[in-house]
Structure 1
Amino acid sequence: MAESDGQERTEKPTEQRLKQAREKGQIPRSKELGTAAVLLGAAAGLLLLSGSLGRAMSRVFEQSFRIERATLFDPAAMMPALTDAIASLVWPLLGLFAIVLVAALLGNILLGGFNFSTQAMMPKFSRMSPMKGLKRMFGVQAAVELLKSVAKVAFIALFAAWLLWGQFEHILGLSHEVLPVALVDALELLLWMGLVLCLALLPIVAIDVPFQLWNHSRQLKMTLQEIKDEYKNTEGKPEVKGRIRRLQQEMANRRMMAEVPSADVVVVNPSHYSVALRYDKDRPGSAPMVVAKGLDEIALKIREIAREYEVPVISSPALARAIYHSTKLDREIPEGLFVAVAQVLAYVFQLNAWRKGQGRPPVPLKDDLPIPEEYRA
């Protein structure tokens, strides 16, 4: 189906499109499935409850034909007699109605499921348009429904004729039976023929259900532009999402930079890497934690803040790369780097003590700190 912009609906409906259609009450439904379910439920219910229903009707007939003369002319006796008749029939009929009700509900929710839509209940004034009404009456859809109805009636009629022809001798044989037996036999034959005739609707249902599913999917098909627009509406425009990500990254960087003054040391690769470490001496058993890390411009900014707040900056390219690639922000360093980081912290603590006039100058750090091969980047 061509759109106004020249695009065709060639793409399957998305989950969002299906959800919106369901909210509007636009779901696949099969009238044939509902009709077949009701008729089969009624036929099956009559077969299951025929015994109790027949006995109840017999009691009502007996009570009705055995009314005494005094009761017949007593106006006050009419209501008790009616109440007794209703009480005899109420339970078998309620059972039959319950079976038909369950069959009707199942027949309508088997395809499309249960759906309650307030939008579908709202009045639509467009449906009151005479021109649109005529279009629906004489349109392609109306012609298809007419052909379906004619084919369905013809099929059911042929099936009923075949069924009657097959039971023709049995029907004629009822005239040779005594009255009570003939009546029971005729009712039983009628019920079974009704059930088999209802089963003739199943081939029609088997054709209609796939057609309704296909037609529903066809009506909801989308153009490529509609899919792109839906993606933009649900996921957001790429440029907006990119700006949001940049703002979030900037906020995260500002929070990270605020932690640099509290670090004990910043380990750097003079060209690209900077990693700020903090060790809490008051927590026995804890390991040094990465409070800030970055590459290139962020690494330069970390070093600037460290120098501003007099946080020692130690150049160790291999260790800086190892910590950067192995440890996430606000996480403790891995066990394999404990020895190397411990040497750096020991050097820093000795350096801070010497600057305060306590102790001797620290021994310079070795260039080849003990870093396991799996942590070398």
Structure 2
Amino acid sequence: MAADPSKTEKATPKKRNDERKKGNVPLSKDVVMIASLLGSFIMLRMLFPFMYRTMRDYMIKYLSLAPVAENLSDYTTGVFLDTMWAVTKAALPILLTSIVLAVIGTGVQTRFLFSKSKLAPKLSNLNPIQGIQKMLSLKNVIELLKNMVKITLLAVILYQIIKADLRPVSRTIDMDLKNSAVYVLSAIMDMIFRVSMVFLAVAAFDFFYTRWDYDRQIKMSKQEVKEEFKQTEGNPEIKGRIRSLQRERARSRMMQSVPEADVIIRNPTHYAVALRYDIEKDIAPVLVAKGQDELALRIVALGEEHGVHVIENKPLARGIYAGTQVGAAIPSEYYGMVAEILVYVYQLNNKIIE
């Protein structure tokens, strides 16, 4: 059927994966057919001497028994078993080659997908109305046109080949049976090979068309893309709310650490950083809280409420704010300035620095 005009977006990876789980993957039957056909005839050409010897020995054996056989029923079982064995030896390699190449041709295109959903019976397949709709679908119409083109090409190619080889083949009347059979077989194999080359081009076209048609059929509308994004990534509004709550909780934990700080350095209203230095635990002063604008004022107010000294140092406050994460030690380039401030604070608090 015609594609939905609202579905203008390429299928997302999730959409493709979901379709794959359903067993809906692009598959060119022409590729499978030409792979199996070419492989079978190449194997036939390679094994023809072996097949010829097998059938020749079989025929010689039973033709030689004909003049001396008194009762053919005595050989019924033997004839049946020998016939089956001869046919198996001659045909089985070609049959196996055809099956293996068909499996490979299918597997390469589908990445060896096996889906149980395709095996499950569907009651919708018994609906005659849907059956008629499928028959009249764009896909089936295109398949019909493709088959008509292939039949036309085959007829034209065969006509040209037969027309060119008709005179040489007629000369085989003057040849002995073996040479004429070899010539006719060679002509047939050459004809098959040329036909296969043409159909190989048709299969290549069908391969790319099948993938284009598959991409067209699984396109998504913008609304479907949005809904899928919400399912896989979550609703943006909810995610934004979660991130906001996480920031609030982190800020709350940070503010709880302000009373433990030894000093707050400010700039004077835009930035504020609270530092802690425990000689027994910390190898360097640690940033326990930082804030900008309103949050900076809150840090200063909370620190003053709990008796934390507030020092104004614009470049130091801005530098520590920009270059240090909460809970991390300050950069080494600020050790000197911070040490002077801490010594001053400790002197005010009558602390002794060891």
* Alignment TM-score, normalising by the size of structure 2: 0.84
User: For residues 173 and 203 of structure 1, what CA distance do their matches in structure 2 show?
Assistant: 34
- Per the alignment, residue 82 of structure 1 pairs with 81
User: For residues 83 and 244 of structure 2, what CA distance do their matches in structure 1 show?
Assistant: 82
Alignment check: 8 A CA contact 2:3 2:216 kept: no
- Per the alignment, residue 267 of structure 1 pairs with 265
Residue among 314, 318, 323 paired with 2:315: 318
SS at match of 2:311: strand
User: For residues 52 and 264 of structure 1, what CA distance do their matches in structure 2 show?
Assistant: 96
- Per the alignment, residue 98 of structure 2 pairs with 100
How far does the alpha carbon of each residue in 1:315-373 deviate from its partner, in whole angstroms, 9 at most, with x for none? 2222111100112233332222222122222223333335xxx69xxxxxxxxxxxxxx
Distance verdict in 2 for CA 1:123–1:249, change over 3 Å = farther
Report the identity percentage.
Answer: 34
User: For residues 320 and 244 of structure 1, what CA distance do their matches in structure 2 show?
Assistant: 30
Alignment check: 8 A CA contact 1:127 1:133 kept: yes
Q: CA deviation at 1:153?
A: 0.9
Q: CA deviation at 1:305?
A: 4.2
How far does the alpha carbon of each residue in 1:43-78 deviate from its partner, in whole angstroms, 9 at most, with x for none? 112122223333333333344445596998796994
Alignment check: 8 A CA contact 1:71 1:77 kept: no
1:23-38 to 2 correspondences below 5 Å: 23-38=21-36
How far does the alpha carbon of each residue in 1:10-56 deviate from its partner, in whole angstroms, 9 at most, with x for none? 33323332222222222222122221111111111212222333333
Residue among 333, 338, 341 paired with 2:335: 338
SS at match of 1:167: helix
- Per the alignment, residue 353 of structure 1 pairs with 350
Q: Cα RMSD over matched residues?
A: 3.3
Residue among 277, 286, 297 paired with 2:275: 277
**Structure 2: tracts of 5 or more residues without a match:** none
Distance verdict in 2 for CA 1:326–1:174, change over 3 Å = same
Aligned length: 351
- Give the AA of the match of 1:103: L
Moved more, 273-282 or 335-344: 273-282
- Per the alignment, residue 50 of structure 1 pairs with 48
User: For residues 329 and 57 of structure 1, what CA distance do their matches in structure 2 show?
Assistant: 88
Distance verdict in 2 for CA 1:67–1:117, change over 3 Å = same
1:222-233 to 2 correspondences below 5 Å: 222-233=220-231
Moved more, 76-85 or 166-175: 76-85
1:68-147 to 2 correspondences below 5 Å: 78=77, 82=81, 86=85, 93-147=91-145
- Give the AA of the match of 1:296: D
- Per the alignment, residue 218 of structure 1 pairs with 216
User: For residues 237 and 175 of structure 2, what CA distance do their matches in structure 1 show?
Assistant: 88
How far does the alpha carbon of each residue in 1:211-244 deviate from its partner, in whole angstroms, 9 at most, with x for none? 2222222212233333333333333222212111
1:154-173 to 2 correspondences below 5 Å: 154-173=152-171
- Residue 299 (str. 1) matches residue 262 (str. 2): no
- Per the alignment, residue 370 of structure 1 pairs with none
Q: CA deviation at 1:314?
A: 2.5
- Residue 11 (str. 1) matches residue 30 (str. 2): no
SS at match of 2:290: strand
**Structure 1: tracts of 5 or more residues without a match:** 360-377
Residue among 241, 250, 253 paired with 2:251: 253
Alignment check: 8 A CA contact 1:46 1:191 kept: no
